[in-house]
Amino acid sequence: MNQEQFEEMAAAYCLGVLSDDERMTFERALAAASPQQRQAFEQMRLAARHLPASTELASPTPEARQRILNAIGAPSSAPQATFEVTDTSIEPVSKSRFNFDFTNSTQFFVKLKNYKKIKFDTKNNDAEKTAELDKTYKIESALVEKIYRKLRLDRPIVAVVLPGVLFFAALFFFLNKPT
Amino acid sequence: MLARNLMAQVLRNDPKAFAEIYDRFNRLVYSVILNIVRSPAESEEVLQEVFVTLWSKRKEYDFSKSSPVTWMITLARNRAIDKIRSSEYKGTMKSSSIEDAPTFSSAEMDGENPLENALLEEKQKMIRQALQTLPQDQQIIIRVAYFEGLSQSEIAGRYSIPLGTVKTRMRLAMKKLYDLLKEAV
């Protein structure tokens, strides 16, 4: 197989359109390929990997998620916000051994904040409304997470002292209230 | 968390990790399916098949062979192509003129997470620009091969062009696409 024939098969292989026989033929050729042929193959494989991202992004309905989770027998839950992966402006939780992991309490705040949405989801099947709420949910969840971290509530010293200060301030104002 | 770490949790039968994988990649997987199947309702059926297969065949996933995203996309593409090749879809591929073939068009994004969309949109824009730089006949050949799973001889038959021309165009398109993407992405 010369270079040109090899590249023609490599292109079809990377696009996943070879028949089983052709694929086996190509894989044999690849195993015995020259460095130049191998390089051409790697380049085409890399190019083909980008093709899925050329599609128009669309979202399935929220019901699809529920159906899939039901099908695998997973407990139903609200969709998770994707801020952890994408929002690089959020500082990571400190991994100091003197710190507690308050990540779960973040989730608690997020769930509390979105109680209305979760309640709506369980009662209704209005796809449009649910999708709208879902959008708001993700943005608001990211906001709650950001505020939580900005206030340093993931640090125990802040998490313990702040409520104490607020309590004593309230007590002080209560005791000094003019009668 | 990285997709590989999530996949490792899925292999340990963690449905929460599975739900997170779904939340992170459903749009990409669904978009690939929709691009092939064209019908939202049928695409959701395929999406469900793909994710249920991902869960039921999770033990077959091999970390050394591909990333979880590549695995999902390959699964989705194969299922979607099977769908359009099934009997009820025969006859829906109406176009036999090369001018009528679908192209890589620019698209509006529907926003869920603005930052995530911005990053994805940027990447998509670069890939689309690279694809649109290719000659129209090469774009079409890549498009119908990748998104419809047509072989080189099927493309030649559909558009009434010699098989040798299809092979050459496909080869040149893939080489040029790499040259364009290595700088852009």
DSSP A99: S
In the predicted structure, residue A39 carries a pLDDT above the cut 80? yes
> With the C-alpha atoms ordered B34, B124, A17, B61, is the resulting torsion angle positive or negative?
negative
Residues of A within 8 A of B24 (CB-CB) are 82, 85
Residues of chain B in contact with residue A142, where contact means CB-CB under 8 angstroms, are: 113
**Is A55 at the interface with chain B, CB within 8 A?**
yes
Chain B: closest CA distance from residue A35 (Å): 16
Least Cα separation, residue B52 to chain A (angstroms): 6
Nearest CA in chain A to B106: A56
Residue B168 has pLDDT above 60, yes or no: yes
- Cα–Cα distance between B31 and A60 in angstroms, integer? 9
Determine which of B25, B55, B139, B178 to mutate to test the interface with A (most A C-beta atoms within 10 Å). Answer: B178
- Alpha helix positions (H), chain A: 3-14, 20-31, 35-49, 62-71, 83-86, 103-113, 115-123, 127-150, 156-175
pLDDT at site B95 = 44
pLDDT at A51: 87
B23 vs A49, A54, A79: nearest CB: A79
Give the C-alpha separation, A99 to B78, whole Å: 47
Distance CA B34, CA A58 (A): 8
Answer yes or no: is pLDDT of A155 > 80: no
The span from the CA of B41 to the CA of B178, in Å, is 34
Q: Cα separation of A151 and A159, whole Å?
A: 9
Residue among B31, B79, B105, B141 with most chain A CBs within 10 A, to mutate: B31
| Range in A140-154, B73-87, B106-120, B153-167 with the lowest mean pLDDT | B106-120
State residue A32's pLDDT score. Answer: 92
Q: For residue A90, is pLDDT > 50? A: no
pLDDT tier, B184 (very low <50, low <70, confident <90, very high otherwise)? low
Residue in B with minimal Cα distance to A22: B151
Cβ contact B44–A64 (<8 Å): yes
Asked if A51 has any chain B CB less than 8 Å from its own CB, the reply is yes
Two tokens at A18? 């070879």
Please judge whether A57 and B124 are an interchain contact, meaning their C-beta atoms are less than 8 angstroms apart: yes
pTM reported for the whole predicted model: 0.60
Write the single-letter amino acid at A87: D
Q: Of the spans A12-21, A132-141, A148-157, which averages the highest pLDDT?
A: A12-21
| Four-point Cα dihedral A51, B136, B40, A65, nearest 10 | 10
pLDDT band at B38 (very low <50, low <70, confident <90, very high): confident
List all residues 6 or more positions away from B41 whose beta carbon is below 8 Å from its beta carbon: none
Task: Kindly state the percentage of chain B with pLDDT values over 70.
Answer: 79
Residue B163 forms contact with A (CB below 8 Å): no
Q: What distance in Å separates residue A158's CA from the closest CA in chain B?
A: 26
pLDDT for residue A93:
32
Is the model more confident about A102 or about A71? A71
Q: How close does chain B come to A159, measured CA to CA in Å?
A: 25
Do the Cβ atoms of B115 and A87 come within 8 Å?
yes
**What is the pLDDT, as a whole number, of residue B109?**
37
Average pLDDT over residues B81-99: 61
Cross-chain Cβ contact B104/A139 below 8 Å = no
The model's confidence at residue A20, banded by pLDDT at 50, 70 and 90, is confident
pLDDT grade, residue B117 (50/70/90)?
low
Tell me the pLDDT band of A139, cut-offs 50, 70 and 90.
low
More confident residue, B8 or A121: B8
pLDDT in tens, A112-126: 555 555 555 545 555
